[in-house]
Structure 1
Amino acid sequence: MPAPASSPGQRTGHTDFDLIIVGAGIAGINAAYRFQTGTSRQKSSYAIFEARDAVGGTWDLFRYPGIRSDSDIFTFAFEWNAWPKKGTMASGAEIRAYINESAQKTGIYDNIRFRHKIVAANWESEHSRWAITATVPGTGGGGGGGGGGDAQLKVYYSQFMYLATGYYDYETPLSTTIPGIENFQGKVLHPQFWPKDLDYTDKDVVIIGSGATAVTMVPSMTDKAKHVTMLQRSPTYIFPLPQHGTLAQIVLFLFPRPVSHLILRTGWILQLVLMIQLCRYFPGIVRRVIRHENVKRLPAEVPWDPHFNPRYNPWEQRLCASQDGDIFAALSAGKASVVTDTISAVTEESIRLSSGTVLHPDMIVTATGLRLSFAGGMDVTVDGQHVDQSKQFLWKGTMLQDIPNLFFTIGFENASWTLGCDCAARLTVRVIEQLRDKGLEVAVPRMSASDQKTMVPRPLFSLKATYLDKVNEQLPKGGSGVWAPRTNYPVDLWKSTYGDIETNLEMS
């Protein structure tokens, strides 16, 4: 661990940037756009520090077969750059290219510092600035931001810091407890670290998991694999999503791209809000609709129960979208199957299930979740004192309690991630502008003594899922009032754009 990123007395008052954004994924690029277009000062300076050597974040890292958006692309894409294609869902490669193009056309790309991995950030109260330690490429050209080769440590100073790091650990996969998995003699793969050009032609593949990754991979791998089996402990709601809906195609035909993008984006937002309310108040009706859509696509030999009949109501966990119902098509074609059971043991050549069934895969894919990491794994301190973010409340879904000039990006659990990121970016710009208008430098969310005694902690994510339980253990807490988590995009957008930003925010 490097020494704390602090140099009291050195370069007093100096800052290299007004704002350092951590991460050049979709959240970081959006934050940069909002900052460079929303701040009034002519020479506002910012930089995006990206540990990897390309933009895209998750979409640059994940390369498993079939990777795509798990929601409609019109709400996932930036509001300020219309999605250029016609389909409802988009592949990982398309999203990666879109993020790169968005950064290039707006000049954001020139402000990205690749292979700059932040390892520590210390707030210096004496100088009202963040001292940020990063590993950067050495002058010899052989190193990378991850500390290999001749990479070196360097300290940067910034008045504000914006965390657009998501909550996935990009370097270490989730350790999955599967009895005997170490005995298996075939390949065991994790989607997060999919080998380039892996050949699975004519292989029997078992994908362990039932979430969005598994639902995506199963039909995508059937083009080459001999057979693909989705092995799940319990099922997930899967809803077929048309890739080229009739109404969407009419809108795209009638209106120029920016207008059609706005119409479709608004339509999907309203549809999502309606869907969530229906699931909340009429879960039985929604369940029957999903069952109907599933059953009419399933082959006769694959029953809906137990394979597609979850033990919970819709939206207690997030629904999985299946592009044009492709997973059902794979089942109907006999190229894929689904098994609902628990693993008793993995042997050298098989997976033995509790029911007595034995599977004989050539390859096992563990699509069972992702390892989590807050703030990209950096050590965050205030005047040298470690910050335990899990003990802090989150102010308006964007700033950490008692931490100066630090902004945090978190999306919605029940909508496209980008929507929540945009709320955070808009609010960040408003806070910075408010400080400048008042001739002040520091903003710190504070909770009153009475609120500290009575505030009931709430998880930022309320959906019932094992991986979200682990996320909530590491993330800041929600509460009520200005500390409430984001739950409704139209409401949160209004609050971020026009709402009060002074309650419980101390400025100096």
Structure 2
Amino acid sequence: MTTEPTATASILSGEPLDVAILGAGISGIGAAHYLTVEHPGRRFAILESRDTIGGTWDLFKYPGIRSDSDLHTFGYEFKPWTDPQAIADAPRILDYLREAVADDDLESKIAFNRRVVSADWSDDEQLWTLTVQHYDTGESSEVKARWVFAGTGYYNYAEGFTPEFPGTDSFAGQIIHPQHWPEDLDYRGKKVVVIGSGATAVTLVPSMAGDAAHVTMLQRTPTYVIPLPRKDPIANTMKTVLGDKRGFALSRQKNIWQQKFFYSFCQSHPKLARKVIRSTNAALLPRDFDIDTHFNPPYDPWDQRLCVVPDGDLFRALKKGTASIATGRIKTFVENGIELEDGTVLEADIVVTATGLNLQMFGGLELHRNGEPIALRDTIAYRGAMLSGVPNWTLAIGYTNSSWTLKIGLLCEYLCRILTHMDEGGFTSVEAIPDPGMETRPLLDFGAGYVKRALDRLPKQGVAEPWTMTMAVAADVKQLRNGEVDDRFLNYRKATEKAPETVDA
């Protein structure tokens, strides 16, 4: 999918945009749908830094890339997921997103190769000025917008996280990060070591095991891994019997409750949950498999995100012997592989560093107000949707313990309700203002390494509503779908009124 240069120019020229959407991934396309339906008269555009839609699902090219949650909840509420695969691969997800773009005639609203590198809010103009870098021409331009929806996710799409391993210069093979996967990589008949134990690693290992001579997953710390059917038989039956629309809606609710139940079960009964997960693992592994070493995380279930393997493919590869797991710390790379601290040498022709991603808010753009920089660490998230001291800006971060898109849909609904309230009151801006000295805590209460590495650069959240970053659908239905849009923490302003004093967090 491409956009002609003349179309791109027409989107971004003339009067200020009512809404500038950053990113044409699953969040940005969802926001565009809600604006199209709820505010058809509004002028909006999607600014996408790459030359195609899809975000994560087009960027990553490594073998087997797929969702790690079901598409009945990861898909949009407004667009039924009709494919029989529930845990779906990237090409199917991309087809779904392309259909969503076509359904709402969004092609002409997307400006490709346009990356917003800075954004400056003017209290006098009541507008955002976006500085846009043109990746196709090398030029830059300015775009004015009344509101910004930051659908950029929270990963650094330019580079992933790779620790500094000693001895890499001595290794005779290839070292690859999944974020920069060579499309022409031939790993047939080669020995592969995948460093990591997260979602990317458990996807790569069984996907490569069929063609490689052998694949070893090298983990420093085990992760909880659970099998789920790639095809959801109950959901597919519902869609067959009730039709796509109604069957999808019921399947979505079923899976939301399943996710909620399992997460709550893990949080309230961690010892029992641990026993259930490990018993499931043991049933799928060879009898002599060292489960106490390789599937024995030192933390409780859902202190970090669980890994899903469709149809137990990782366990099948381990049982078949085409893959194995090594648990230990790396001492050094050697010419023919990796030496662990216990002296074990894992032979490898290719090493894949599935060691995680770097967290980056808003695609790394510089945020300003009246020319003065805004430090994100000094802001506080309001309803998980806005940031204190940042007018007319939607923070689009999905769930870490459930399907990302479940929250994005609710955030889009909330944005549309805010815009309606502003229309009715004749307001030009709205800003969330916390009480002075309000107690705060980290934005993401999550033990993942990529979160811990970035905590000092992230906004914060409060300890009570509406300043909490909730990770539960029911709580966000209350806050975002049904919550007030004019409570005492929101300061609405008309163009003729003076801006409020900002409050230090």
Cα distance between partner residues in 2 of 1:240 and 1:156: 47
TM-score (norm: length of structure 2): 0.92
How many angstroms does 1:240 deviate by?
0.5
Give the aligned residue type for 1:89.
Answer: I
Shift of residue 48, structure 1, vs aligned partner? 0.2
| 2:454 is equivalent to residue 476 of structure 1 | no
Give the alignment partner of residue 195 of structure 1, picking from 182, 201, 204.
Answer: 182
Question: Once the 2 structures are TM-superposed, how far is the Cα of residue 239 of structure 1 from its aligned partner?
Answer: 0.3
Q: CA deviation at 1:470?
A: 2.1
Instruction: Please tell me the residue identity of whatever aligns with 1:92.
Output: A
Q: How far did residue 337 of structure 1 move? A: 0.2
Equivalent position SS for 2:484: coil
Q: Distance in 2 between matches of 1:311 and 1:414?
A: 19
Partner of 2:76: 78
Q: State whether structure 2 residue 47 is matched by structure 1 residue 49.
A: yes
C-alpha separation between the residues in 1 aligned to 2:158 and 2:449? 21
- Structure 2 partner of 1:495: 479
The residue matched to 2:461 in structure 1 has which SS? coil
Partners of 1:120 and 1:465 in 2: CA distance: 28
1:10 corresponding residue in structure 2: none
* Deviation at residue 481 of structure 1 after TM alignment: 1.9
1:428 CA drift (Å): 1.1
Matches within 5 A, 1:332-347: 332-347=319-334
Question: 1:301, CA displacement in angstroms?
Answer: 3.3
Q: 8 Å contact 2:152–2:362 — kept in the other structure?
A: yes
Is residue 396 of structure 1 aligned with residue 396 of structure 2?
Answer: no
Letter in 2 for 1:34: Y
Q: Deviations over 1:348-378 (max 9, x none)?
A: 2221101111111000000000122211111
Which one is further off, 486-495 or 307-316? 486-495
CA distance in 2, matches of 1:501, 1:384: 28
1:407-426 → structure 2 map (5 Å cutoff)? 407-426=394-413
Q: What is the CA–CA distance in structure 1 between the aligned matches of 2:445 and 2:393, rounded to whole Å?
A: 24
Spell out structure 1 runs of 4+ moving beyond 3 A: none
Counterpart Cα distance in 1 of 2:271 and 2:70: 24
Equivalent residues of 1:175, 1:371 under 8 A apart? no
After superposition, the CA RMSD in angstroms is 1.3
TM-score by length of 1: 0.92
Aligned to 1:507: 492
CA distance in 1, matches of 2:441, 2:306: 22
Q: CA deviation at 1:463?
A: 2.2
User: Is residue 2:131 matched to residue 1:133?
Assistant: yes
SS in 2 for 1:482: coil
Tell me what 2:32 maps to.
32
Q: Do 1:23 and 1:50's aligned partners in 2 also have CA atoms closer than 8 Å?
A: yes
Which residue in 1 is equivalent to 2:96? 98
CA distance in 2, matches of 1:239, 1:154: 48
| 1:108 equivalenced with 2:93 (yes/no) | no
Q: CA deviation at 1:473?
A: 3.0
Aligned 8 A contact 1:317 1:464 in 2: yes
Task: Verify the 8 A CA contact 1:15 1:129 in the aligned structure 2.
Answer: no
Pairing 1:229-268 to 2, within 5 Å after superposition? 229-268=216-255
Tell whether the 8 Å contact from 2:239 to 2:245 is kept in structure 1 after alignment. Answer: no
What per-residue deviation string (whole Å, max 9, x for no partner) do you get for residues 423-449 of structure 1? 221111111111111011010111122
SS at match of 1:17: coil
Q: Distance in 1 between matches of 2:30 and 2:459?
A: 22
DSSP 3-state at the match of 1:458: strand
Q: Is the 8 A contact 2:159 2:179 kept in 1?
A: no
Match of 2:444 among 431, 436, 461: 461
Question: How many equivalent residue pairs?
Answer: 478
8 Å Cα contact 2:167/2:334 also seen in 1 = yes
Unmatched 5+ residue regions in structure 1?
1-13, 137-143
Does structure 1 retain, via aligned residues, the 8 Å contact 2:24–2:47?
Answer: yes
Q: Does 1:291 align with 2:278?
A: yes
Q: 2:349 aligns with which of 362, 380, 384?
A: 362
Deviations 1:148-168 (A, max 9, x none): xx3211111111111001111
Instruction: Show structure 2 runs of 5+ residues with no match.
Output: 1-13, 494-505
What CA deviation, in whole Å up to 9, does each residue of 1:3-45 have, x standing for no partner?
xxxxxxxxxxx84210000000000000111112112xx5210
Deviations 1:52-99 (A, max 9, x none): 011101111011011000111110001111112012200011111211
CA distance in 1, matches of 2:292, 2:19: 53
Distance 1:129 1:182 in 2: 51
CA distance in 2, matches of 1:111, 1:345: 50
Tell me how far apart the structure 2 counterparts of residues 49 and 131 of structure 1 sit (CA, whole Å): 14
Aligned-partner residue type, residue 62 of structure 1: F
Matches within 5 A, 1:209-220: 209-220=196-207
